[in-house]
Amino acid sequence: QKGWLAKIEGEGRRVSEAAHDAFARGEEEEGRSYWTYGEVMEKIIGYAWKNGEPGMLFLDRANADNQVPNLGDYESTNPCGEQWLLPYSSCNLGSINLGAFYVGDAPENADWQDRVNWDAFDETVDQTVRFLDNVVSINKFPIPEIRDRANQERRIGLGVMGFADLLFRLGIRYGSEQSFEVGRAFSQRMMDRSLFASEHLVEDDGREPFGAWKGSKPYSEAAAPRRNSHLTTVAPTGTISIIAGCSAGIEPLFSLAFKRQVMKDADGVPVVMSEANMDFKVALEKAGIEEEEIGAITEVALEDGSIASCDIPADLKDVFVTAHDVDPQEHILMQAAWQTGIDNAVSKTINLPADSSPEDVRTAYLLAWKEGCKGITVYRDGCREMQPMALAEKPAEGTKAPGDLQPVSLPEIMPSLRIRQMTPFGNMHVKISVDPQTEGEMEVFAQLGKGGDVANSDLEAICRMLSLFLRCGGSLGMALHQLEGIGSSLTVPSKDGRIMSLADGLAKALHKYEGAKNNFGLRALLLGEANLEEAVGTTGSTAASAPGARMGSGMGGAFKVKCPSCEHGVLAFEEGCSKCHSCGYSQC
């Protein structure tokens, strides 16, 4: 086992495996069949293929760029993978919109470098480094340990968004060799300029270097002291890219057209409009395509995500590609291109077709490692439909199978209690019907506010089986033991701890009921004699963080997943996260 580390924390949960180079190299070398390489790798790949989790982190690559090894070694990242952090480390992030630096009036035959305003980019980097450093200074940290570590490192994370927009305007296909060249150029320039700006804060502004400077990796007597230990990253831009009206991070567009919730009518009903990417629309107009035909092309893009099936000029088809038009290898090479200049890491989703095999996942993992990435997240189209399955327990030998059980009939009127609980699918409202004579639980109803048809139908099935179990004499505690802790790829934090799945959320709600019943008695709860705020506690509103329903199979074979917040939009899986371009909802 020496020479590698794999952290397996649950099947189907949002985790990443961490591996040393020896682990990946051993997997690559033919003839190596040690369980420490083969069997563990098979397990990681199998679950990543099933539901996109776990991701893979490459420890040695990350620690090679650890600027403060005197404070410790990296072991893991935040969930999206762009920030390797030490215990108690924190990082504040900022992203620059690359599309804003396109020079539209450059000569027609100019190289792509001459179509970028590099001076304005440098100035923006200088200002943003200063701004992010000021955030470290004025921030109110939650605990002393985080405050002290922040002053030791003064870690910032300057990143980008709008990269796909810039490529559209430059006329460069995402995934081409030239697009990798653009990515490497911006990555290195941003790192070099960030370093210059950080040194300038010490030399010209008189600010102190970060606290761990003298024992840090870049330290020497001759080296120019700098203000910040780490400077650059590529983080998910979630809602900020929607606010800025640009593409997300370094990702290609998920679709060239979206349904956008823009306002509410006089009756308070949301108004939803179709909207095409502006660069795409302008390019169609310049190509002489009529408005009516543009509308038809927009509808195709809205349905399929891609315009590959449209009858438009070949050069437009080549440039205006979306995530599902880009080969998985091209996704990885783009991530690697951006990683060249980034001193932390890159958050990016490697989109795989629905018919990809586990071997394709293995190939993607090894390519990412070979190309110098610090981690990788894959998402196989439609894989979130699949849920981990558990094998049925075998009955103990010597026991006799029970006969048929007849559930107790219930009267038409029964008292009940209602509990609200946060789940990954939004707020859940649970009603527990009880027998006031025996004080036994007889029936459980639950409903989600905006979970979507699939999630609500799953919840109804769980509650029907739970109610039948209770009416057949089963105990609520025994049922909760089966429901609690069930994991899924979609989780949400709450004051009661992390809610791991729909079933886990239901179990949390029923545990609240059990606690209140034990503390105050069922009679006091039913008659309102107990302090319900104290008895059950309160749950804040939740921004739902899981897909609600599959919406068909357009997107050129892609599986559309309904947004659980607005229910009009489709979730885009990008930047190691999911978000809705219609309402701005983001899981991260």
Given 381, 400, 428, which residue is the final one in a domain? Answer: 381
> Does 2 have pLDDT greater than 50?
no
31-66: burial string, b at 16+ Cβ within 10 Å, e else: eeeeebbeebbeebbebbbbbbbbbbbbbbbbbebb
Percent of the residues in the chain that have a pLDDT greater than 70, as a whole number: 82
Q: Note the pLDDT of residue 21.
A: 66
Is 222 in the same domain as 177?
yes
Q: How many residues does the chain have?
A: 588
- CA-angle at 563, arms to 51 and 453, nearest 5°: 85
pLDDT in tens, 545-579: 333 333 333 444 445 666 766 666 777 777 767 77
pLDDT in tens, 18-33: 666 655 555 555 554 4
Write the burial class of residue 452 (CB in 10 Å: 0-12 exposed, 13-18 middle, 19+ buried).
Answer: buried
Q: Note the pLDDT of residue 64.
A: 93
Q: Phi, psi (5° rounding) for residue 316?
A: -70, -40
Beta strands in 474-576 (DSSP E): 571-574
Is 3 within the bounds of a domain? no
Q: Note the pLDDT of residue 564.
A: 67
Given 335, 357, 381, which residue is the final one in a domain? Answer: 381
Taking residues 334-355, what's their average pLDDT?
Answer: 94
Q: Are strands 55-58 and 16-19 parallel, antiparallel or unpaired?
A: parallel
Is 316 in the same domain as 332?
no
Number of domains in the chain: 3
Q: Are 504 and 12 in contact (CB under 8 A)?
A: no
Is 352 in the same domain as 429?
no
Distance separating alpha carbons of residues 217 and 67, to the nearest angstrom: 5
Tell me which H or E stretch contains 378. Answer: strand 375-380
Q: Which domain holds residue 24?
A: 16-250+324-381
Is 128 within the bounds of a domain? yes
Is 455 within the bounds of a domain? yes
Entry pTM:
0.66
**Coil vs helix vs strand at 263:** strand
> Does 456 have pLDDT greater than 70?
yes
Write the burial class of residue 538 (CB in 10 Å: 0-12 exposed, 13-18 middle, 19+ buried).
Answer: exposed
Is 450 in the same domain as 495?
yes
Given 335, 358, 381, which residue is the final one in a domain? Answer: 381
Is 450 within the bounds of a domain? yes
Highest mean pLDDT range out of 141-150, 445-454, 494-503?
141-150
Taking residues 387-415, what's their average pLDDT?
Answer: 58
Is 509 in the same domain as 423?
yes
Q: Are 48 and 57 in contact (CB under 8 A)?
A: no
Is 561 within the bounds of a domain? yes
Averaged pLDDT score across all residues of the chain: 83
pLDDT in tens, 175-209: 999 999 999 999 999 999 999 999 999 998 899 99
pLDDT band, very low/low/confident/very high, at 85 (cuts 50, 70, 90): very high
Is 145 in the same domain as 290?
no
Tokens for 62, please give them.
């990350």
Q: Is 528 left (phi over 0), alpha (psi -120 to 50) or beta?
A: left
Is 134 in the same domain as 105?
yes
If we measure between CA atoms, which residue out of 325, 328, 336, 324 comes closest to residue 360?
A: 328
Is 235 in the same domain as 103?
yes
Distance separating alpha carbons of residues 191 and 187, to the nearest angstrom: 6
Is 81 in the same domain as 217?
yes
Q: Hey, which residues are catalytic here?
A: 78, 80, 82
Is 588 within the bounds of a domain? no
Is 307 within the bounds of a domain? yes
Is 103 in the same domain as 182?
yes
Q: Note the pLDDT of residue 126.
A: 98
**Of residues 368 and 582, more confidently modeled:** 368
Is 263 in the same domain as 170?
no
Is 361 in the same domain as 495?
no
504 CB-near residues (< 8 Å, 6+ apart): 423, 483, 484, 485, 486, 487
Distance separating alpha carbons of residues 136 and 148, to the nearest angstrom: 11
Is 390 within the bounds of a domain? no
Q: Note the pLDDT of residue 270.
A: 73
pLDDT in tens, 256-272: 988 877 667 777 777 77
